[in-house]
Structure 1
Amino acid sequence: SRTSYRTILWRAFLPLFEIPQFVPAIPHCLSRLWTRGEPNINALRLLVNLSCCPDMVPYLLGAKGVSGLLRLLDTDREEVLLRAITWLLCTSSAVDALHLTYDRIACHNQPFDALPLSLSTQDPFRNPAHTLYYSIYGPKSREELEQRANELTNHANPDVVNKAMRLLEILKNIPPFPTLGSQLNRL
């Protein structure tokens, strides 16, 4: 629809000085991604809109990861599946285009000072394994994402097939997440 296109277009051109206004919404959105065991379509809508702005993606990826994230791709609800694969595609496109690695988003893996401690979902110890980046591109997660995207290339909906194929192509350009032990080797 025209309204959703305008919203996405507006998010894609969000001025840098306005980004801090949206950052506090990220942990709330991620914490509401699953409601009563079901994917929350409104949270997915917001994630798609935020991921359409490449400058927001490092903030998204620095947020605390969500358990069961890739189960979004297992749904029978086509609207949820389309939004989930669109979100992962937009996020991965930004990671590829901006050459984002964990080292580049690590500064966003910290508590939000503006939020009460109970709502701050960032890791106070800055463990990379607790980030959304790791939940998507960590070794096991990435393998699972590639497997699920590969399965979706046989989906009945051509939009899902197209996005899954594009996601697989983009994932080839994203370097593998270094094992957590490899960082100790630098010491």
Structure 2
Amino acid sequence: MESNAPRIAVVYATEKGSTRDIAEFIAAELNEQGAEVELSDAEHAPELSRFDTVVLGSAIHDMDLLPAAVTFVRTHRAALRNKNVWLFSVGLGPALGGRIGSRIGRIVPKKIATLRDSITPRDYQAFSGHYECVGVSLKARVLYRLMGGGRYGDLRDWAAIRSWSATIAQSLGLPAAQSNIVVP
């Protein structure tokens, strides 16, 4: 007997693991609500014809998605245009505060906006990631502070991520979450 549950591919590109953690969390949330979910990194993504929905996430470096995510979108652009696509990025922008930082944090970098618009996702959401000051230049640390960066460490807003996952689930007609998933 074939299941009527929505089939979702959660695909991610990560550099240090923060984006993977978010993708795993989203996949677990959607699975918990009854969807059939397959999680994979962008370089080993499954054949998209098997899925109704694609959730794609990438870390941001140099105001662009990671090369693996860009390549994934370019390679699968036609298929993605015909799918229910949800796109997220992980970077510092959402963690910035103050008058200048909060404005800058809401700007979608041009390369990301162009790629996003080429596949017209249902939604695009930017999340904060994990940012350590170790190995970051003094200039970058000062700039981060000047733009309203308040602290270092895990800056991910798990409640916002859970809420976005619930929005995806609701759009697919999945039952409300009875989530036992522990936020990392």
TM-score using structure 2 length? 0.29
- Identify, as 1 or 2, the structure richer in strand: 2
- Identify, as 1 or 2, the structure richer in helix: 1
